[in-house]
Amino acid sequence: MKSREQEYKEIFIAEALEYFDALNRHISDLEKRPQEDKLLAEIFRLLHNLKANAKAIGYLRISDVSHKLETAFSLIRNKELQFSDEIVTVLFEGVDLLGELIHNIDNENYGEPDPVLLRNLDIIVDNLSDSTIELAKVQRYNPTKNLSLSELVYIQIKKLDHLLNLVGELVIDRDRILSISRELGNDELKSVSSHLNRITEELQYSIMDARLVSIGSLFNKFPRIVRDIAIAEKKEVDLALSGHDIQIDRNILQIITDSLLHLVRNAITHGIEKPEQREKKGKSRTGKLSLVARNDRENVQIQLSDDGNGIDLVQVRKAIVERNFLSTAAVEHLPPTEVLSYLFEPGFSLAKEVTEFSGRGVGLDVVKNAVDAIGGRIWVESEKGLGTTFILQLPTSIAVKGALLFEVDSIFYAIPLIHTEQVVAMEVSELHEVGGVLVADVFGETITVVYLHELLNVKEREMNLGDKSRLKGLVQNIIIVSYNNRKLGLIVDKLYRQQDIVVKPLSKPLDAIDLYGGVTLLGSGNVCLVLDVPAVTRYFISRRQLVAAE
Amino acid sequence: MPSKKNTAAQAAPVPVEENTPAPANGKEQQEKSKANEPLLHLIVFKLGAEYYGIKIEQVKEVTVTPSITRMPRTPDFVKGVANIRGDIIAIMDLEERFGIKPVPASSENGITYTLVIEAKEYSIGVVVKEVPQSLNLSVSKMDKAPSFLQDIAVQENYIEGLAKVDNRLIIVLDMYKILSGDEIKQLSS
């Protein structure tokens, strides 16, 4: 795999060559129609971009020549310089020189550019009226000039989506073929299928790789946004960015863009205090905002921290009761992480004032839905007076997910690993019936446990989630899932293995059923339902509330 | 997801007798109708004790019902999902959907058939107990559903018309309307 730097360089060269081709075209046109402002503007733009790109990546010679040419064209544009034959020749030479420099970026033996040409350029740029351009030396024709096409192609994300879908189908068929070949035990088939296996895997990862973009492409938009919001809010904010190079699927980045923007707005309008207030609290006038991306196992974690007000747990607890989520008694014993998780409930907002940038009724629940939709997780940590941190955990790729396979009532299910915390086996005697549900002590933590068969298959009228006697067998396999800072243990009939699965979204009309995030086909050809942990958790909560209401 | 529009009735393991008229469809039926009158091509199957028909354009294929994976917490008329040539589609039980009393299956081997229906926005499979038949009739043989049927039928106007062929009454369904908005909502709740 190529290094980032190498990749950037290739992108620069490809772009630069494109600019070079466009420059040649426009400058030839300009020679015929010297009065056309549009052409001049376009040439100007191309040179300017080339200069900036070259400077950014450290090719100073290219940026220098571009700069000189840019200046020359700006003189022509301002009518301070005539687009005369002499000058045209020098400018063509200049553009050629650019091409030569771009082609020879890697060539260490490439000497210095022609000093005469450089001087001629200088003469034009410095607008020395006594024309001393040495034409004789400038007139040359480079017969070694090759025609070459760009090393890069642009591709619509739609086409990559299609490729990814096809590979998804291929992976499913591959699994099926592998499993058939194991059953048949034919050596030739075995060797072909193992080759197919390798190729498919490589194809899959290549396509996933082609869809990756660096998070920097999103992060780089934030300094300006933060500045604008800060000014509107009369606040002083310093934004620190890190982890630009972390790679993530382009569509995932697209989906969380609005969410991240929303969180940043919130942090500035509701988190960070006005400079005077900060000083009173003994903080620096300027608030600190940091946006950090890092790889976390197979996922990408994005962390947004501010050093502002923090979230007042007392207020949140009060709001939970006011909005009838929980009773006063229940709220008191709620651990802080769970209290904070209520911030993501629909209709739960602490913002009192509506400002230009925040508090337009779009709450954290919308952010959460977006993160849920791509199979990610979000949670918040906060300390009153010290600041708030939002953490988004996102899959690197949409297509393939690590998942845990299991069986309930002879149906195969999968749960994406991003939602699983741990798997434990427990005897029935370790489960306790408390307040209409089952609870278990898992490494010192009391966790609510639910028998999935009861939750999914028993008629709603006859459902009893707090009845231990409905469990089959002595030892229960429990998958502990976590959603919105709340843990829930799911008792399953049979636990299988961990496996990378390709999730196929459910097609209409089944896509309306939110209990399932999709389906996948197992090697055996069986359909396996992918449970949507957020929806299962919500369903469990709604059942409990119904029971409590009766 | 790549759709396979062209597989319609092409690789169906069960022979859909497209050109052979179904037993009850006397040949004279077609001869009697004027030559230039447009024909209606139906796939006819039995639900309960009545015959139902779906226009062939709406039927993508007919196949022996594959193994169905039940989907818990979906309405009763959703039997589950099945893998049909790599597409995962919902399998519906129309008897359940229309509240038709099922008649004990006549086929002793327990084989059922699935019509894969391609509606505007979705594909669904419909399970039937007997081999579906193909039937041609002239458009004039079909009456619009009686108005009182349409009236009471608030969301039940999935009945496009009634066709009389010999002594059989065939209820022609409009598959595009078979899942009403309410039911799609019911699916999601």
In this predicted structure, the answer to whether residue A69 has a pLDDT above a threshold of 50 is yes
Which residues in chain B are closer than 8 Å to A456, comparing Cβ atoms? 72-73
For B9-31, write each residue's pLDDT tens digit. Answer: 444 444 444 444 444 444 444 44
- Mean pLDDT for the stretch of residues B121-136: 85
Q: What is the pLDDT of residue A146?
A: 62
Distance between CA atoms of residues A166 and A204, nearest Å: 10
pLDDT at B36: 67
pLDDT of residue A270: 85
- Considering only alpha carbons, which residue of chain A is nearest residue B185? A512
Across the beta sheet with B113-118, what order do the strands follow?
B59-64, B113-118, B123-128, B87-92, B78-84, B68-69
Domain boundary among A372, A395, A418: A395
| A506 in contact with B, Cβ within 8 Å | yes
For residue range A492-511, list pLDDT tens digits in order. Answer: 999 998 888 888 878 777 87
Asked whether residue B4 carries a pLDDT value surpassing 80, the answer given is no
Q: Does A530 touch chain B (CB under 8 A)?
A: no
Dist CA A537 CA A344 (whole Å): 14
Q: Which residues contact B122 (CB under 8 A, 6 or more apart)?
A: A507, A508, A509, B90, B179
In a domain, A480, yes or no: yes
Question: A30 and A104, same structural domain?
Answer: yes
Residue B11 per-residue DSSP state: S
Residue B154 confidence (pLDDT): 47
Give the other-Cβ count within 10 Å of B90's Cβ.
Answer: 27
* pLDDT band per the 50, 70, 90 thresholds, residue A127: low
pLDDT band at A91 (very low <50, low <70, confident <90, very high): confident
Query: How many CA within 13 A on the CB side of residue B143?
Result: 10
Q: Is the pLDDT of residue A22 over 60?
A: yes
Contacting residues of B for A457, CB less than 8 Å apart: 72
Highest mean pLDDT among A413-427, A509-523, A536-550: A413-427
DSSP state of A274: P
Distance CA A130, CA A119 (A): 14
In a domain, A332, yes or no: yes
Task: Judge whether A442 lies within some domain.
Answer: yes
Secondary structure of residue A207 in the 3-state scheme:
helix
From the CA of B4, how many Å to the nearest CA of chain A?
13
* Coil vs helix vs strand at A321: helix
Report how far residue A390's alpha carbon sits from residue A271's, in angstroms, rounded to the nearest whole number. 12
Nearest CA in chain B to A456: B72
**Helix count and strand count (H, E) for chain A:** 18, 18
A219 part of a folded domain: yes
CB A271 within 8 A of CB A387: yes
Q: What percentage of chain B exceeds 70 in pLDDT?
A: 65
CATH number for the domain spanning A514: value is 2.30.30.40
A81 vs A204, residue with greater confidence? A204
Which residue, A211, A236, A257, sits at the end of a domain?
A: A211
Residue-wise over A302-324: b if at least 16 C-beta within 10 A, else e?
bbbbbbbbbbeeeebbebbeeee
State the total domains in chain A: 4
ipTM passes above 0.90? no
Same domain for A224 and A373?
yes
Predicted pLDDT at B20: 42
pLDDT per position as a tens digit, B68-85: 999 998 888 889 999 887
Q: Which residue has the higher pLDDT, A44 or B20?
A: A44
Does the reported pTM lie above 0.80?
A: no
Give the whole-angstrom CA distance, residue B24 versus residue B165: 8
Which residues numbered 444-503 in A keep a CB inside 8 Å of some CB on B? 456-457
CATH topology of domain B5-188: OB fold (Dihydrolipoamide Acetyltransferase, E2P) (2.40.50)
Considering the domain architecture, whether residues A220 and A199 belong to the same structural domain is answered as: no
Amino acid at the residue A439: V
Give the CATH number, domain containing residue A355.
3.30.565.10
H/E element holding B40?
strand B39-47
Q: What is the CATH number of the domain that holds A15?
A: 1.20.120.160
Inter-chain touch B72–A456, beta carbons under 8 Å: yes
Q: A470 exposed, middle or buried (CB, 10 Å; 0-12, 13-18, 19+)?
A: middle
Q: How many CA atoms lie within 13 A of A295 on its CB side?
A: 9
**Facing A527 at nearest CB: one of B78, B83, B179:** B83
Q: With respect to residue A148, please indicate whether it lies within any of the assigned structural domains.
A: no
The answer to whether position A145 is within a domain reads no
Mean local confidence (pLDDT), A40-69: 86
Choose the final residue of a domain: A109, A138, A167.
A138
Range of the domain at A433: 400-549
Question: How confident is the model over A336-349, as a mean pLDDT?
Answer: 80
Q: Which residue has the higher pLDDT, A72 or A7?
A: A72
Do A206 and A220 have their domain in common? no
pLDDT digits 0-9 by tens, A250-269: 888 988 898 899 899 889 98
Token pair of A273, please? 């205090």
Each residue of A462-490: pLDDT tens digit?
888 888 888 888 889 999 998 887 889 99
- What local confidence, expressed as pLDDT, does residue A41 receive? 84
**Together in a domain, A384 and A310:** yes
Q: Is residue A143 part of a domain?
A: no
Residues A542 and A414 in one domain: yes
How confident is the prediction for chain A on average, in pLDDT?
Answer: 83
A109-118 residue pLDDT tens = 777 777 777 7
A180 and A236 inside one domain: no
Strand partners, A482: A487
Rounded CA-CA distance B65/A216 in Å is: 51
pLDDT of residue A202: 92
Does residue A270 share a domain with residue A233?
Answer: yes
Residues A261 and A364 in one domain: yes
